[in-house]
Amino acid sequence: MVCLVIIAVFAFIVLRGLGRVKAEADAYVVLAATGLAGGFGFQALVNLATTVHLMPTKGMTLPFVSYGGSSAVAVALGMGMLLALTRRRSRDEPG
C-alpha cells in the first residue's frame, strides 16, 4: 500500500509539472521544465524498476527518499528550478 502511495506521489509531481507547462508560450520554459520533470520521473522509474527486478541495478537513488548526498542536492536544485519555471507570474512582473 505504501509503495502505491509513493508511486502516486511521483506521478503527481511529474504530471503536475507537465500540466503547468501546457499553457506556457515561452519555448525555453517549455523545454526546460519538460526536461526537469522528465528527468525526475525517469530517475524514479529506473529506481522502481530495479527494485522489482525488471532491470539490472543502476545505482540511481530514489528522489527525495534515498539518501545520496550529492544526488539529493541535485534533485532538490532541479525541483527548485522546475518550481521557478512553472510559477504563476503576474502581468506586471517582467519575464
Instruction: Answer yes or no: are the C-beta atoms of 50 and 1 closer than 8 Å.
Output: no
Position 9 in a domain: yes
Query: What span, in angstroms and rounded, lies between the C-alpha atoms of 22 and 61?
Result: 28
Position 92 in a domain: no
Q: What is the extent of the structural domain holding 70?
A: 2-86
Position 95 in a domain: no
Q: What's the pLDDT at 95?
A: 59
Position 57 in a domain: yes
Residues 6+ apart with CB under 8 A from 10: 40, 41, 44, 63
Instruction: Answer yes or no: are the C-beta atoms of 34 and 45 closer than 8 Å.
Output: no
In the block, cell 527548485 appears at 80
Q: Note the pLDDT tens digit of each residue in 41-83.
A: 999 999 999 988 999 988 888 888 887 788 889 999 999 999 9
Q: What's the pLDDT at 11?
A: 95
Domain count, the chain: 1
**Degrees to nearest 5, angle at CA 59 with 32 and 39:** 10
Position 16 in a domain: yes
Position 68 in a domain: yes
| Percent of the chain at pLDDT exceeding 90 | 57
Query: What span, in angstroms and rounded, lies between the C-alpha atoms of 59 and 33?
Result: 25
Query: What span, in angstroms and rounded, lies between the C-alpha atoms of 52 and 95?
Result: 44
Full-model pTM: 0.83
Count CB-CB contacts under 10 A for residue 60. 18
